[in-house]
């Protein structure tokens, strides 16, 4: 008996004897996850839903780091330089701009608000960058700007949902879920889709990384910076690693007997999931630990170990894609610069947010580049919409602090990494940055482009639910070929 308990080999021997091809596939999955081919495709998928898959088209990148600035950062203070707007500063907004338009808070006739930053042309590309982003100036040649992104949602919750699920209403799978559903994971000790937040949870909450109608294994795993990084990851008090291993061995051994009796392959899947759970208990805290990184790396990102920060999350994102995590989603809360309070003012809170974002995000691009990872990773940066060239006047009275209202007509995003042009600008807004005048792209276009870079045709990548095929881009979306290298 003792021999049997201690002998994993015995277990494996039993596994590999006398079972059909299906069971064998699963056991090889569970015992040695590096097997990539051989077994019947859909069977493998059913037994190991996270098995890595090749996409239908040739992919440019393997993984994605998506940096979302929750609340919508002001493009007019960061990338979209509008000298004409300065001339209109504090003058009433022309009626033609606001007629028939709805805003979240602006009422009546607001004044215009000139850029609250100075701009310079940077890098070899000579693209405009604001003085709030001194570090970013060094990496501006890595990115393709989208300067005329538009959305039809101007409230946070719905706009975030549209950005990450393709629909402003709840219930659809998120971008990361679609991608892990389509591609599986390269690392079987870590979740395929990881979410990291700083500053607070985004307005639309967990639905932004929800699996919607896809199987729940594809939902984003929110790795928290306080407590267990993954829920219930830590063994309870009194249970050592060694004892946990014995517990899981016992469970799996009894379950295997159950399989022998019932011959139900679902039992084999359960066995492999328990093994993965056991491994995750070690590998997740390992990847979440940034203390052991070299000092110069910590310095470069400006990390604060033990704190929840965008800097820490940027470094974690790099560690994760390095380890084969498919999709890392970062949310940084606090960019809603209305000017209704100090933390929301362009002259106060916004500057702090810029400082806390500029360094780590630039470091992330550099770090990925120096490791040769940037060519197989797509980095996306953006908010859920943009901000008005007008000074917000809540209830018709100009806010006492400087701020801008929500604006869906035009805002800036950027992408960098494999398959994306370097030092490029696509799209242009009018002279006050109110509307896109050429190269307008929609949220669905951005999504179609991300899927394209990963090797998917967004129109063909569907899942049947409630009797019809659904896709991330709903019935719209066009790949932004202009920015593809």
Residues 189-208 that bind another protein (CB under 8 A): 199-207
Question: Is residue 426 close enough to count as binding another protein by CB under 8 A?
Answer: no
Q: Which residues of 394-445 form beta strands (DSSP E)?
A: 404-407, 411-417, 424-426, 428-429, 436-438, 441-442
Query: What's the rounded Cα separation, in Å, for the pair 221 and 231?
Result: 9
Query: What's the rounded Cα separation, in Å, for the pair 356 and 360?
Result: 7
Phi and psi at residue 343, to the nearest 5°: -65, -20
Nearest CA to 328 out of 51, 10, 63 is that of 63
For another protein, which stretch binds (CB under 8 A), given 26-34, 141-149, 265-273, 318-326?
265-273
Q: Give the one residue of 14, 24, 224, 478 binding another protein; rule: CB under 8 A.
A: 224
Site mask, another protein, residues 347-386, x = CB under 8 A? Answer: ----------------------------------------
Nearest CA to 113 out of 152, 73, 77, 69 is that of 77
Give whichever of 336 and 430 is closer to another protein, judged by the CB atom: 336
Q: How many residues bind another protein (CB under 8 A)?
A: 104
Q: Give the one residue of 83, 92, 305, 396 binding another protein; rule: CB under 8 A.
A: 396
Phi and psi at residue 468, to the nearest 5°: -150, 155
Q: Give the one residue of 213, 283, 293, 351 binding another protein; rule: CB under 8 A.
A: 213
Instruction: Count Cα neighbours of 88 within 13 Å in the Cβ-side half-sphere.
Output: 18
Min dist CB 316 to another protein, Å, is: 17
Give whichever of 100 and 372 is closer to another protein, judged by the CB atom: 100
Min dist CB 310 to another protein, Å, is: 14
Q: What is the DSSP letter of 75?
A: G
Question: Is residue 274 close enough to count as binding another protein by CB under 8 A?
Answer: yes
Question: Is residue 32 close enough to count as binding another protein by CB under 8 A?
Answer: no
Query: What's the rounded Cα separation, in Å, for the pair 179 and 194?
Result: 12
Q: What is the secondary structure of 345-371 as a DSSP string?
A: -TTTHHHHHHHHHHHHHHHHHHHHHHT
Q: Give the one residue of 89, 111, 141, 246 binding another protein; rule: CB under 8 A.
A: 246
Q: What is the DSSP letter of 374?
A: G
Site mask, another protein, residues 132-171, x = CB under 8 A? Answer: ----------------------xxxxx----------xxx
Contact 386, 408 (CB under 8 A): yes
Give whichever of 56 and 83 is closer to another protein, judged by the CB atom: 56
Min dist CB 274 to another protein, Å, is: 5
Query: What's the rounded Cα separation, in Å, for the pair 14 and 252?
Result: 12
Min dist CB 457 to another protein, Å, is: 10
Min dist CB 103 to another protein, Å, is: 8
User: What proportions of the chain, in percent to the nearest 5, are helix, strand and coil?
Assistant: 40, 20, 45
80-92 burial, b if ≥16 CB within 10 A, otherwise e?
Answer: bbbeebeebeeee
Min dist CB 271 to another protein, Å, is: 9
Q: Give the one residue of 34, 37, 96, 236 binding another protein; rule: CB under 8 A.
A: 236
Binding to another protein, residues 73-112 (CB under 8 A): 102-105, 107-108
Give whichever of 126 and 200 is closer to another protein, judged by the CB atom: 200
* Tokens matching residue 378: 């797509």
For another protein, which stretch binds (CB under 8 A), given 39-47, 113-121, 124-132, 381-389?
39-47
Question: Is residue 251 close enough to count as binding another protein by CB under 8 A?
Answer: yes
Min dist CB 410 to another protein, Å, is: 19
Give whichever of 76 and 190 is closer to another protein, judged by the CB atom: 190
Question: Is residue 227 close enough to count as binding another protein by CB under 8 A?
Answer: yes
Q: Give the one residue of 250, 352, 370, 438 binding another protein; rule: CB under 8 A.
A: 250
Question: Is residue 477 close enough to count as binding another protein by CB under 8 A?
Answer: no
Question: Is residue 215 close enough to count as binding another protein by CB under 8 A?
Answer: yes
Residues in the chain: 485
Q: What is the DSSP letter of 67?
A: E
Give whichever of 140 and 221 is closer to another protein, judged by the CB atom: 221
* Tokens matching residue 239: 């249970």
Binding to another protein, residues 280-319 (CB under 8 A): 280-281
Give whichever of 96 and 466 is closer to another protein, judged by the CB atom: 466
* Tokens matching residue 23: 């069971």
* Torsion sign over Cα 384, 390, 391, 393: negative
Question: Is residue 462 close enough to count as binding another protein by CB under 8 A?
Answer: yes
Query: How far is CA 92 from each of CA 26, 99, 149, 311, rounded to the nearest angstrom?
Result: 68, 13, 26, 40
* Torsion sign over Cα 306, 311, 315, 316: positive
Give whichever of 158 and 389 is closer to another protein, judged by the CB atom: 158
């Amino acid at each position: 008996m003792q021999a049997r308990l201690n002998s994993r080999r015995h277990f494996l021997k039993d596994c590999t004897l006398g079972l059909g091809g299906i069971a064998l596939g699963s056991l090889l999955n569970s015992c040695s996850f590096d097997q990539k081919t051989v077994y019947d495709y859909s069977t493998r998928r059913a037994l190991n839903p996270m098995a890595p898959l090749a996409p239908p088209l040739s992919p440019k990148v393997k993984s994605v780091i998506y940096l979302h600035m929750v609340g919508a950062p002001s493009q007019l203070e960061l990338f979209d330089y509008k000298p004409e707007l300065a001339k209109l500063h504090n003058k009433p907004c022309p009626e033609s701009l606001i007629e028939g338009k709805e805003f979240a808070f602006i009422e009546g006739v607001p004044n215009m608000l000139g850029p609250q930053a100075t701009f310079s042309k940077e890098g070899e590309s000579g693209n405009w960058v604001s003085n709030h982003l001194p570090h970013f100036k060094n990496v501006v040649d890595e990115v393709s700007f989208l300067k005329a992104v538009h959305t039809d949602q101007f409230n946070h919750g719905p706009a975030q949902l549209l950005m990450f699920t393709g629909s402003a209403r709840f219930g659809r799978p998120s971008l990361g879920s679609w991608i892990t559903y389509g591609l599986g994971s390269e690392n079987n000790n870590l979740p395929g889709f990881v979410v990291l937040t700083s500053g607070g949870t985004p307005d639309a909450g967990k639905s932004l990384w929800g699996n919607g109608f896809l199987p729940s294994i594809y939902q984003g795993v929110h790795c928290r910076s306080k407590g267990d990084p993954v829920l219930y990851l830590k063994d309870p008090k009194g249970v050592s690693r060694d004892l946990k291993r014995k517990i899981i061995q016992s469970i799996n051994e009894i379950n295997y007997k159950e399989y022998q009796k019932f011959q139900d392959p679902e039992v084999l899947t359960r066995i492999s999931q328990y093994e993965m759970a056991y491994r995750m208990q070690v590998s997740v805290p390992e990847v979440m630990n940034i203390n052991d990184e070299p000092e110069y790396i910590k310095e470069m990102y400006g990390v604060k170990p033990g704190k929840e920060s965008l800097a820490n999350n940027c470094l974690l994102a790099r560690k994760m894609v390095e380890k084969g995590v498919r999709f890392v989603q970062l949310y940084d809360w606090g960019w809603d610069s209305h000017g209704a309070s100090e933390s929301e003012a362009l002259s106060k809170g916004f500057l702090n947010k810029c400082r806390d974002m500029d360094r780590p995000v630039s470091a992330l691009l550099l770090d990925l580049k120096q490791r040769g990872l940037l060519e197989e990773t797509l980095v996306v940066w953006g908010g859920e919409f943009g901000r008005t060239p007008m000074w917000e006047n809540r209830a018709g009275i100009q806010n006492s602090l400087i701020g801008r209202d929500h604006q869906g007509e035009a805002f800036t995003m950027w992408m960098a990494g494999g398959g994306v042009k370097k030092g490029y600008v696509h799209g242009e807004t009018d002279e006050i940055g109110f509307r896109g005048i050429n190269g307008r792209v929609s949220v669905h276009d951005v999504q179609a482009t991300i899927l394209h870079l990963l090797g998917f045709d967004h129109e063909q990548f569907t899942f049947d639910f409630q009797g019809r095929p659904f896709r991330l881009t709903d019935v719209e979306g066009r790949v932004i070929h202009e920015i593809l290298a």
